[in-house]
Amino acid sequence: MEKTRKAKLVVFEGIDGSGKSTQIKYLENYLKEKGVNFCLFKFPRHGRERFGKLVDAYLKGEFGDPTRLNAYFSSLLYTADRFEEKTAIEDALRERDWVVMDRYVGSNLAHQRVKLKSEAQWKEYMKWMDDLEYKKLGLPRPDVVLYFKVPFEAAKKIIRGEDGHERNLNYLRRVKEAYEAIAKSKKEWQIIESGKGHGMLSREEIFEKVKQVLNI
Ligand SMILES: Nc1ncnc2c1ncn2[C@@H]1O[C@H](COP(=O)(O)OP(=O)(O)O)[C@@H](O)[C@H]1O
Ligand SMILES: [Mg+2]
């Protein structure tokens, strides 16, 4: 059972290159200027601890092609990575004002969609994920999830092709579709329209939308 929560838990989600880290930096600066106590968790924890390193191995293809590997097994690596931080997250929720996640459970839901054959299998998978992470493992549920919706063309231009996922543009396109379906169906998800035609709105224009949605 989750301990008392003082902080607001806000999650940033979106495909690679959708501007999550950029907007988190804007938010961090904005809140710090206002004297708000801010804490950031970034998942997966690349290169860190036991499970962050296993996620890296997964992305490098050490368990097999990551875009094809069993959705449930793949999820467990990311879930375990978050669980390793559970105490730190709970402490932050008790002590800070704002706890922000750069990717969280929603990244599993969207990324693993690609490997599941049908809508029905995806629904079953999402139920399993929800039960495992939030109920069985007791990771905290977000208050709000911001989904950064960008035109595929714009994201394609800025991703750098660093890992197995980023190189596979078709995979990325399907992840984007999955994100959009989730964002439309879950009540705590808010869509931040970050595109303009095939390009992006400016960083400042997008941050105005973030502030509006977060009511700050
Ligand atoms: N609104 C924007 N317009 C143009 N480029 C952007 C915008 N927001 C972010 N970028 C750039 O796009 C790249 C990816 O942004 P980033 O915030 O790292 O995305 P993510 O964390 O979602 O992968 C960075 O080089 C960043 O400077
Ligand atoms: Mg980032």
Q: Percentage of the chain surpassing pLDDT 70?
A: 94
Cis ω before 140 (30° cut-off from 0): no
What does the pLDDT read at residue 165?
A: 55
Q: Residue 58's domain spans which residues?
A: 8-214
C-alpha to C-alpha distance for 164 and 60, rounded to whole angstroms: 6
Q: Is residue 74 part of a domain?
A: yes
pTM of the entire predicted model:
0.94
CA 200 to ligand 1 center in whole angstroms: 9
Over range 44-71, report the average pLDDT: 95
Q: Is residue 191 part of a domain?
A: yes
Mean pLDDT of the chain: 93
Q: Are 52 and 46 in contact (CB under 8 A)?
A: yes
Amino acid at site 67: T
Atom of ligand 1 nearest to the CA of 14: 22
Q: How confident is residue 167, by pLDDT bands cut at 50, 70 and 90?
A: low
CA 36 to ligand 1 center in whole angstroms: 24
Q: Give the tens place of pLDDT for each residue, 121-151.
A: 999 999 999 999 999 999 999 999 999 999 9
199 lines ligand 1 (CB under 6 A): no
Q: Is residue 2 part of a domain?
A: no
Where residue 201 sits, what CATH number does that domain have?
3.40.50.300
pLDDT beyond 50 at 101: yes
What does the pLDDT read at residue 168?
A: 72
What does the pLDDT read at residue 112?
A: 96
158 lines ligand 1 (CB under 6 A): yes
Q: Is residue 180 part of a domain?
A: yes
18 lines ligand 1 (CB under 6 A): yes
Q: Enumerate residues 6+ apart whose C-beta is below 8 A from 153.
A: 198, 199
Q: Tally the domains of the chain.
A: 1
C-alpha to C-alpha distance for 89 and 91, rounded to whole angstroms: 5
Q: Are 189 and 14 in contact (CB under 8 A)?
A: no
Provide the token pair at 171: 């995979």
Q: Give the tens place of pLDDT for each residue, 23-37.
A: 999 999 999 999 999
Q: How confident is residue 162, by pLDDT bands cut at 50, 70 and 90?
A: low
Q: Could you give the count of Cα atoms lying within 13 Å of 105 in the half-sphere of its Cβ?
A: 29
Angle (CA) 84-86-92 rounded to 5° is 130
Read off φ and ψ for residue 44, nearest 5 degrees: -70, 160
121 lines ligand 1 (CB under 6 A): no
Q: Is residue 49 part of a domain?
A: yes
Q: Quick one: how many helices (H) and strands (E) in the chain?
A: 10, 7
What does the pLDDT read at residue 163?
A: 55
